[in-house]
Amino acid sequence: MARSHTVLETCAKVRTGNRNCAMGKLGFWLVWGLFLGYAFFFAPPDRPETLTLIQRLITGDIAGINPAIVALFNLMGVLPCAYACILCTDGQGQKVPAWLFALSGFFVGAFALLPYFALRQDNPQFVGEKSWAVKILDSRLTGLVVASLGIFLLLYGLRFGDWADFALQWRSSRFIHVMSLDFCLLCALFPWLLKDDMLRRGWDSDTVFMAVASFPLLGPLVYLCVRPSVIPMEQKSSST
């Protein structure tokens, strides 16, 4: 009887976990659909000068452009870099190609990464050899470069940005409006990958998790600088 009771409890936990996982995936698809619909149908209209603005931001011709917009645009390149540093190991063993979503994130941000969140499976183990790309993206030096760029851009935007003008453009330009929401989403989504990334490094600390998750943008940037190297499952097994 006791054994049967234990088996029933285990099965119930598995069913509950599967149900919660399915609800989480559905939630990501729902957020993705709502964000997509809002961006195309409810956000402020496009402005005639948007394409020219994007071209100037890409080429570095930023004279006369609000520094807050310059900082935000470039942070939308830094955040996908931070995600790439996580996805390079999280994607190992996934049924979907994480690199494709990471690469797409540089162009369309959360529009590309939200489907990955919905399709991925929990992945607290790193199986296999580290490729050259994983070694580069997993290194603290890469994390330090990404964090330095991110913090510099944040301080630059806060110090020199014209926030009254930014608020006006946020209300009148689809590009600025959607990019701002995209930035907020990318900051908010990071903790969903954080726990597995910590476990792949043998770093199971609720205190660290809460510290990183409690400070959007800054928390993830600092985390990339201090996290230990990923530990392959084979190495974990041999050391136990």
- Rounded Cα distance between 84 and 215, Å, is 19
The pLDDT confidence band at residue 140, using thresholds 50, 70 and 90, is very high
CB atoms near residue 182 (< 10 Å): 21
Does residue 22 carry a pLDDT above 80? no
- Distances in Å between the Cα of 182 and the Cα atoms of 135, 142, 147, 149, 155 are 28, 23, 19, 19, 20
- Amino acid in the structure at residue 4: S
Determine which helix (DSSP H) or strand (DSSP E) holds 137, and give its type and residue range. helix 132-138
List the single range of 50-54, 216-220, 236-240 with lowest mean pLDDT.
236-240
Number of domains in the chain: 1
From CA 179, how far away is CA 174, in angstroms rounded?
Answer: 8
- Residue listed under structure tokens 């995936």: 25
Q: Is the pLDDT assigned to residue 187 strictly greater than 90?
A: yes
Which domain covers residue 26, as residue numbers? 2-239
Tell me: the pLDDT tens digits for 50-95? 999 999 999 999 999 999 999 999 999 999 999 999 999 999 989 9
Task: Give me the pLDDT at residue 11, please.
Answer: 35
The pTM of the full predicted model, rounded to 2 decimals, is 0.88
Share of the chain above pLDDT 70, in %: 88
